[in-house]
């Protein structure tokens, strides 16, 4: 990994949150890996959304947001009731 310039204030706050035995380099590498994974997931999510939009535009079939939200709320309530039953 290339050397990175880090303002002294940022270095201090980063070092303050290191876990025992963790190096600043390991922290930066972990942060970089996490951000790469997050951005890939985000890009895939956007691609799926755009593909869905294109499919809806081609077919002319749309689902109302109210209907989707009511189904999601029902799933959430079902999951919560299962959890509280345990």
pLDDT attached to residue 83 = 87
Provide the domain count of the chain: 1
pLDDT confidence of residue 37: 98
Determine, yes or no, domain membership for 46: yes
Which residues does the chain have with pLDDT short of 50? none
Give the pTM. Answer: 0.68
Instruction: Give the whole-angstrom CA distance, residue 55 versus residue 37.
Output: 27
- Whether 70 is covered by a domain: the verdict is yes
Residue 1 lies in a domain: no
Query: Does a structural domain hold residue 43?
Result: yes
Is 76 inside any structural domain? yes
- Specify if 39 maps to a domain: yes
Task: Read off the pLDDT of residues 12-34 as tens digits, 9 standing for 90 and up.
Answer: 999 999 999 999 999 999 999 99
- pLDDT given at position 76: 97
3 found inside a domain: no
Residue 45: in which H helix or E strand, if any? helix 24-59
Q: Domain for residue 2, yes or no?
A: no
Do 29 and 35 contact (CB within 8 A), yes or no?
A: no
**pLDDT given for residue 1 in this prediction:** 73
The range of the structural domain enclosing residue 80 comes to 8-85
């Amino acid at each position: 990994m290339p050397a990175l310039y880090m303002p002294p204030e940022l270095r201090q706050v980063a070092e303050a949150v290191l876990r025992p035995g963790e190096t600043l380099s390991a922290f930066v590498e972990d942060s970089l890996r996490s951000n790469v994974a997050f951005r890939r997931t985000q890009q895939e999510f956007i691609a799926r959304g755009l593909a869905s939009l294109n499919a809806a535009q081609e077919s002319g079939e749309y689902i109302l947001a109210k209907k989707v939200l009511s189904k999601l709320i029902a799933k959430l309530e079902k999951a919560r009731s299962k959890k509280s039953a345990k």
